[in-house]
Amino acid sequence: MYIGATTYPLLNYIPNIFETILICTILLTVSLNVIVRLLVRGRVDRVFSGLGIGTHLSGTLLALIFPPG
């Protein structure tokens, strides 16, 4: 059985690269949001409040981790 030198098609890497770029964009956005809140207010009340996630989670575990006020 002969196994020749084959190359992996570069088109198979495109979804991985795209997903990596999206994850990096999300992490950059969240970190810049935290930095700006620290500079403007001096504290971070809720990390995800801009997404509408932290506004109605007062009785959940997230509210215990990030207490309001």
> What is residue 24's predicted lDDT score, i.e. its pLDDT?
96
> What is residue 17's predicted lDDT score, i.e. its pLDDT?
93
- What tens digit of pLDDT does each residue of 14-61 get? 999 999 999 999 999 989 988 988 888 888 877 766 555 555 544 555
pLDDT at residue 65 is higher than 60: yes
Domain residue ranges of the chain, discontinuous segments joined by +: 10-65
Q: DSSP per residue over the chain, as a string?
A: ------PPPGGGTHHHHHHHHHHHHHHHHHHHHHHHHHHHTSS-S-TTGGGTSTTS-TTSHHHHHS---
Q: What is the pTM of this model?
A: 0.55
Rounded average pLDDT over 56-69: 58
